[in-house]
Structure 1
Amino acid sequence: MTTQNAINWPEKYLPGTCDNFVSNEVIARGVTADRVWRHLTDTSTWESFYDNVSDISFPHGGGPRLEDGREFSFSTFGFPPLAARVVEFRAPAGGEPGRLSWTALQDGPPEERLDVLHAWLVEDLAGGRVRVLTQESQIGRPAAELAGQVPNPMLNGHQAWLDGLLAASR
């Protein structure tokens, strides 16, 4: 029996307790966790394989590579730039999965407030395969509105991100 690794969830963002939650996963051959990790953590490549992200910036310097504690901002899903901060960052190594997560916030009146945790897990599997899991929990009225749409734009958008990430990594 094989047990798969899972996302580390802070209590505040626990799936099923928020206004919107999506989970996307790809398992593929022909690419390694290290290659995926390089593209995932280098924000300068995102727009080349994911058309739902723009206006990436690093207001306090650094970048374009993500690292633990790094603050950045970006636009996605029609929202104005979200203020983001990396809260978990561990590259894949020694058989352990890579882990990346960031919080992203949009302030404003209650109908515009959004609080998000977007997490990634990247790991090599037996047989020359890689597994990439991305999950996001969202709190706020905009999140509840997204959750009520069919099909869920977050689910489809994140699948496009995964597919583009794998293509770029190959």
Structure 2
Amino acid sequence: MPNSILPITEVLVVADCWRHEPDAEAVIHRAIAAAAEAVDQDVGEAELAVMLTDDAGIRTLNGNWRGIDKPTNVLSFPALQPTGASREDDAPRMLGDIAIAYQTMRKEADDEQKPFDHHLSHLAVHGFLHLIGYDHETDDDAEAMETLEAEILAQLGIPNPYADGDAERERMD
């Protein structure tokens, strides 16, 4: 069943390089909304934050949280979920945070001759799916996640990023 309540998505621009992409926030909102509508689970009243950073910022995050001292394109940080019963007056639950690095993402889009907004949409969808429990640790999980990503992106008019082989798969967080 498609989700009828879209999550509140806050986009934080923390690196000046993103100022060259004035439509980035709208692209992210559109991608997250499409992903939330497509998933077969109730996201309910929830919120998430997307931080638009640079390679230095994401390298620090990658080093601190994953022990990998290099930049990457996207990182997701799912929030711990409350264990008690929800109440009507509760604030929206926090899904977590997504960080996207401009330089790495721009280089990937350019190298693969993809429109910037298509690649940004893909990374936003990929990050969102991680926040709600999808992963790619096993081949089966990767196939399920990639299939769902491709379906969501198709709804946005974006070609399947995995259609040309494993290059995209190898780069994703």
Normalising by structure 1, report the TM-score: 0.32
Q: Identify the structure with the greater strand proportion.
A: 1
More helix by share: 2
Pick 1 or 2: higher relative contact order, CA cutoff 8 A, min separation 6.
Answer: 1
